[in-house]
Amino acid sequence: MTVHKKTVILIGIIILLLFGGWFAFQKFTAQNSGPVEEVDLTFDAEGPFAILSPRRDGNALVLNIKRTSSYDSISYDLAYTSTPDEIKVMGSRISDDGEGSSGESIDRGVSGTIDAKDKKGEYQQEILFGTCSKNVCKYDKGVENGTLTLHIKKGKGGSSSKAYRMNTQWHLQKPDVALGILTSGDGHLVYKTSADRQALSNVGFSIVNDLTGIPKLPSGKIVSGKVYSLNVSQTKELPSGDVTLELAENPGAGKIYRYNYNKSEWTELDTKVEGNKFSAKADGAGIFAVLVSK
């Protein structure tokens, strides 16, 4: 075999290897660049979580997502029901006689994304119950119950990417309307205060949502049952009251703990237990959970 023929054969083999490698690479890339399946994140004590706060006028909520530094993208879907809308124009209100004026509830939804490029540990965003354009805001009214779904993702594609879906239920209400009784959406957290009606009216709106994660726990403690965040607007304080947490079952020697947002610390409350109901006196809003020893 001549040197020329050997060279031609060698070049042909190299071309075949390169083409085969390119084809295999393209196939591998196609298999690993598709959508990543989301996994439901029900509860992880050390995982991300969302705390909701009401805006003072009750026409929006403030979303605060914590423990987000390891995630590359965050989006949300807010779903709720409302009664017929109102339009607020430069401080005055006029009724909207459009769809839904019969008084039946209307399904509403808001979707959005949070810019997570700077990889911060927490993000905050206000979400309106309605829309605004220039000087006219059209707010949904009668909003009380809803759900928040967070979509968070690690990685930017490929088999190493992880996607999680976090669902939380929330209940928005005014303490003065409820005569001092605040509840979670599932009714398993009840906060009752005996403050007078004027004090409750000054508080304005409150919101309760269950959590998928929790601030760092006291040493040697773990969570039993659901965890709830009870919040009022940032400029207000909720009067002291009696809090009750109902669990699916009695975990034994458990105590209610309250996490104080202002002090960033957990406090054990003097807890009474009746069956699977835990009750204690609390000094205001915060995160409430039944904690037991490991």
109 CB neighbour count, 10 Å cutoff: 10
- As a whole-number percent, the residues of the chain with pLDDT over 90 amount to 60
- How far is the C-alpha of 141 from the C-alpha of 114, rounded, in Å? 26
Residue type, 110: V
Q: Is the pLDDT score of 49 beyond 90? A: yes
Single pTM value for the model: 0.80
Measured on CA atoms in the order 208, 210, 216, 219, is the torsion positive or negative? positive
User: Do residues 187 and 172 touch, judged by C-beta distance below 8 A?
Assistant: no
Residue type, 179: L
215-237 confidence digits (pLDDT tens): 999 999 999 999 999 999 988 99
54-107 confidence digits (pLDDT tens): 999 999 999 999 999 989 999 999 999 998 754 443 333 333 433 444 457 899
- As a whole-number percent, the residues of the chain with pLDDT over 70 amount to 81
pLDDT band at residue 149 using 50, 70 and 90 as cut-offs: very high
Helices (H), 80-226: 197-203
pLDDT higher at 30 or 279: 279
Q: CA 19: distance to chain centroid?
A: 49
| Token output for 221 | 């403690």
- How far is the C-alpha of 179 from the C-alpha of 194, rounded, in Å? 9
pLDDT band at residue 162 using 50, 70 and 90 as cut-offs: confident
Q: Is the pLDDT score of 161 beyond 50? A: yes
pLDDT higher at 177 or 171: 171
CA torsion angle for 191, 194, 197, 198 (degrees, to 10)?
Answer: -100
Query: Where are the domains positioned within the chain?
Result: 39-293
* Pairing verdict, β 272-274 and 265-268: unpaired
The residue-averaged pLDDT of 156-180 equals: 85
Specify burial of residue 209 (Cβ count, 10 A radius: 0-12, 13-18, 19+).
Answer: buried
The residue-averaged pLDDT of 117-136 equals: 90
pLDDT band at residue 117 using 50, 70 and 90 as cut-offs: confident
Q: What per-residue confidence (pLDDT) applies to 239?
A: 95
Mean pLDDT for the chain?
85
Highest mean pLDDT among 52-66, 100-114, 173-187: 52-66
